[in-house]
Each structure stands twice: as structure tokens, then as C-alpha cells.
């Protein structure tokens, strides 16, 4: 028998389509408190506060030549 996992948004409660969701992870500076994680749909993830963070790693060669 096959099983299907259904992902539900923790904010609004709607079902999240395949490849249409996001995971928000909050880590505390006090390590004893641990971390919290929430599954979000695209619309709820867009409403969350915060700023875009640059991706880690090397810059592509084309960006270095500028």
C-alpha cells in the first residue's frame, strides 16, 4: 500500500502543493532554548518579517571579473 504525506501550512492551515512551500527555522542565541521550525505556504512565507540573505559560497567567475 502506498502512503502520501500531506504538508499543511502552520500559519493558515491550508494544504501546501508540491514544491510550493517554505520552511521557517528560528534559532535562539541561547543554545539551551533549542530551535523552532514551521512549514509555510508561499503566501504566508511572503508575509513573514525578515530580509533576504545572500547565499553562502564562492561568487561565480563572471561576478568577479566586473
For residue 58, tell me if it sits in a domain.
no
Judging by beta carbons within 10 Å of its beta carbon (0-12, 13-18, 19+), is residue 16 exposed, middle or buried? buried
- Number of domains making up the chain: 1
Q: Which residues pair with 27 in a beta bridge?
A: 35
For residue 62, tell me if it sits in a domain.
no
Domain holding 41, by residue range, is 1-48
Query: For the chain, which residues score pLDDT lower than 70?
Result: 63-66
Would you state the pLDDT for residue 31?
A: 79
Would you state the pLDDT for residue 61?
A: 77
Amino acid at each position: 500500500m502506498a502512503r502520501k504525506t500531506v504538508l499543511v501550512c502552520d500559519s493558515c492551515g491550508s494544504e501546501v502543493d508540491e514544491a510550493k512551500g517554505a520552511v521557517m527555522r528560528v534559532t535562539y542565541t541561547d543554545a539551551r532554548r533549542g530551535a523552532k521550525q514551521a512549514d509555510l505556504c508561499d503566501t504566508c512565507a511572503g508575509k513573514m518579517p525578515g530580509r533576504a540573505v545572500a547565499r553562502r559560497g564562492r561568487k561565480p567567475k563572471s561576478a568577479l571579473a566586473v
